[in-house]
Structure 1
Amino acid sequence: GAAGLAVDAWVRPATLEGRRPIVAKRHAPTDRPLGWSLDLVDGRPSFRWDGPGGSIEATAPVTASVGAWHLLGLSLAPGAPDGGQLFLDGELVHRFDTSALTMPLDTGATLWIGFEPALGRGQLEHGFLGAIDEVELFDRPLALEALRAIFAADRLGKCDKPAPPTPGPTAVPTRATPVPTVPPAPLGADQSGLTSGSGRVGLETSAAKRRAGGSPLPYALEDRGASLPGALETIRRSDRRPRGRRGDRRGRRTPLVAGQVSASPAAAG
């Protein structure tokens, strides 16, 4: 409008070469380009305007970085020696004269983001390479403080978007300690005269058969399903069950380990 305008956008350029339009509102009704655009020219913030009575082209002396997000801003107050301002990352990086801007900036041209078509004969189209986000246009100039506030808002922008949740501590899975098992006791001539062709005995235990005082427990011996009635199995516990705290019934059982199982001949019955 006649009062001026302001534009800001987050950009992440993939290249710094050439003219790369960010926002363009230009056309060529009489084969001569008219209108304005906010660009990166060789990586530097730039403004261009063409009207019936003149033209303006202003480029800042600072350069953006490839692959990094930057806040690019423009503020225009027509008809003033220092009415034009270019911003990069919330800081004023260039002023320019807008005395030639004596006509309304708003025209019937199409508004383009990241692209400018070929305007008139012999003109080339231009495109932005990279990413553009959160483009804003205002029908009035913006002060430096406003651009700084937009830059400080970062991803939250001016839309009151909720802040991303703070990640909490990640639970680290723990692996349970394996409980050692008692291998079946091998049978052989070295075990109190017991012999077996299989070489191993399957042993089954029952907590209900435990006697008070840790006395030996009788067990039935089987060899591959066949009963061995001529033997008793005795389990001697070399360690003792630790006591839980008073009122705590969750005292741990001490697992059996190899070497705690012995066999003896059964008494004649």
Structure 2
Amino acid sequence: RSSIGQRVGDTSDPAFLRTWDYDTTAQSVADSAGKMLYADYVESGSYPIVMANHFGGVIFHEACGHLLETTQIERGTTPFIDKKGEKIAHENLTAWDEGLSGDAFGTLDMDDEGMPTQRTLLIENGILKNFLSDRAGSMRTGHPRTGSGRRQSYTYAAASRMRNTYIASGDYTTEDLFASIDKGIYCKKMGGGSVGATGQFNFGVDEAYLIEDGKVTKPLKGATLIGEAKEIMQRISMCSSDLSLAPGFCGSVSGSIYVTVGQPHLKVDSITVGGR
């Protein structure tokens, strides 16, 4: 049994709900559900994939973003602990975390320790540039504070957490990504998953399609993406120019907080796909 849905969120005036086109959203969800109802099961194997923009960014958030928090440095669980200034991803990948994007779900004037929020470059052209740090994390690790001290409420101690975290737009068109694949999988809508302490992950794909000779063809179901952050980051070889952000909630040591995830359409050269 599986399900299809779509989350909507904003931090602006709730009046945006008056202009939200819920009919179009509902029709899109219904169309996706109908296609998946009669989809074939995916065959297990290693495939090149195209991941959709918007909520597709949840994998970067979960499998890599948390590993760039100083909380993970203190625990000794991040494989990137001594990699600042080194190449940890493909040269076509740049990633940011910031709290400044208009009405995005993770936007805030200051963090929960009173430091003004800012724009933090995490990865630039594959090179690790910064970690996310709160006050205590900065004192213990030596990494500068980034306005990332966040908590759900006063009952939690603040910790280094993400805000609006996303992979930046690239120079390719979405068509370029598909055209580069002879046989692969288009992961249009991501589902839930799990992530190990050091970046091993598996994520279900709620809506997937076969790519054949650069074209999206039949729907597929039952796909699970399996990998490890430090390996998959090196295989994200193409990013399109259609960055889109999606609202969400993140649970960690300092409680559940508002965040944004995001990315453009991107190509992963090879990833293990679990299926039948």
Q: Looking at both structures, which has the greater relative contact order when contacts are Cα pairs under 8 Å and sequence separation is at least 6?
A: 2
- State the TM-score, normalizing by the size of structure 1: 0.21
Greater C-alpha radius of gyration: 1
Q: Structure 1 or 2: larger helix share? A: 2
- State the TM-score, normalizing by the size of structure 2: 0.21
